[in-house]
Amino acid sequence: MSAATLTPTAAGDAPIPLRAHLRHTGALIRRNLLWIRQDPESMFDAILFPVIFTLLFVYVFGGSIGASMGGGQDQYVQYVVPGLMAMMGMNMAQGVGTGFNTDFNSGVMDRFRSLPIGRGSVLVAKIAVELLRMLFATVVLMIVAVLVGFDITHWTGMLASIGLSAVFGSALMWVFLTLGVVMKSAQSVQAMGFLVLMPLQFGSSIFAPTASMPGWLQNFTDYNPLSALADTARGLMLGGPVAHDLWVTLAWSVGLTAVMAPVAIHKFRTKN
């Protein structure tokens, strides 16, 4: 344990065992959870966001979009709730970047980086807690959804789509963590996130069927991973074909993680 028992080797560095990685990540998750306990207001967005979006879309736009789909508000509820679930992952992912940036500017990161821990632990712990927040927001969403008349027909499908949103959400979190490390202030991370997310969210099948959109926009929505995620959730929760959209979503998740996780860790390691 002490310095004296460690013999310096001529070259190379001591690797960190897997168990130590898990222990470090666990300790950092505990820290992030203590943050939430100390500052419960940080959970407000996880409660308010699903409530506001559900009420807004169901009651403001629900009637007319539902009518154009050949039904009414009830039909729109069934359409939009799986879409909102897909969106939950994105919004939580955006928060991870801002939070991480604030953390970075506080000096605590210097302490972490001067400790013998894997660089990934800090990032993985952050993502783990954000996933918990996302899960919480999803539970809130489902409660509100049922209250406004959503009919859960496939329980296993619902759980599967929650899982899929989490997978896609964590992939996006690597992107936002990278932004959080690279950009100078939390404000610019937020602004950047907004710029990226706005077109992705609304240029998708989350809120409305894409059939009535102009051709050029349909080209965009067809390739937008959020459409695939929303359509998979719809299929899983309401029944219908999912295979194609599911593969597209998984491919995006794996691809984003494979590219962005190493980038985020590298940027974190070399940040000065």
Partner 1 sequence: MTVRGLVKHYGDTKALDGVDLDVREGTVMGVLGPNGAGKTTLVRILSTLLAPDAGRATVAGYDVVRQPRQLRRVIGLTGQYASVDEKLSGWENLYLIGRLLDLSRKDTRARADELLERFSLTEAARRPVGTYSGGMRRRLDLAASMIGRPAVLYLDEPTTGLDPRTRNEVWDEVKAMVGDGVTVLLTTQYMEEAEQLASELTVVDRGKVIAGGGIEELKARVGGRTLRVRPADPAHLRPLARALDELGITGLATTTVDAERGSVLVPVLSDEQLTAVIGAVTARGITLSSVVTELPSLDEVFLSLTGHRASAPQDARPADDREEVAV
CB of 64 to partner 1, least distance (A): 45
Query: Using the rule CB under 8 A, is 8 a contact of partner 1?
Result: yes
Single out the residue of 64, 68, 106, 153 in contact with partner 1 (rule: CB under 8 A): 106
In the shown chain, the binding pattern of residues 19 to 58 toward partner 1, with x for contact by CB under 8 A and - for none, equals -x--xx-xxx-xx--xx--xx-------------------
Alpha-carbon span 228 to 216, nearest angstrom: 18
Cβ-based nearer residue to partner 1, 12 or 70: 12
Query: Using the rule CB under 8 A, is 18 a contact of partner 1?
Result: no
Find the binding residues for partner 1 in span 114-143 (CB under 8 A). 114-117
Cβ-based nearer residue to partner 1, 32 or 253: 32
Q: Which tokens is 134 given?
A: 């996302």
Cβ-based nearer residue to partner 1, 42 or 218: 42
Cβ proximity of 206 and 86 under 8 Å: yes
Residue of 187, 191, 86, 91 lying closest to 133 (CA atoms): 91
> What angle do helix axes 186-202 and 73-104 make, rounded to 10 degrees?
160
Calculate the CA 164 to chain-centre distance: 11
CB of 78 to partner 1, least distance (A): 41
Contacts (Cβ under 8 Å, ≥6 apart) of 216: none
What DSSP letter does each residue of 162-185 carry, written as one string? HHHHHHHHHHHHHHHHHHHHHSS-
**Which positions lie near partner 1, rule CB under 8 A?**
1-3, 6, 8-9, 11-16, 20, 23-24, 26-28, 30-31, 34-35, 38-39, 106-108, 110-117, 270, 272
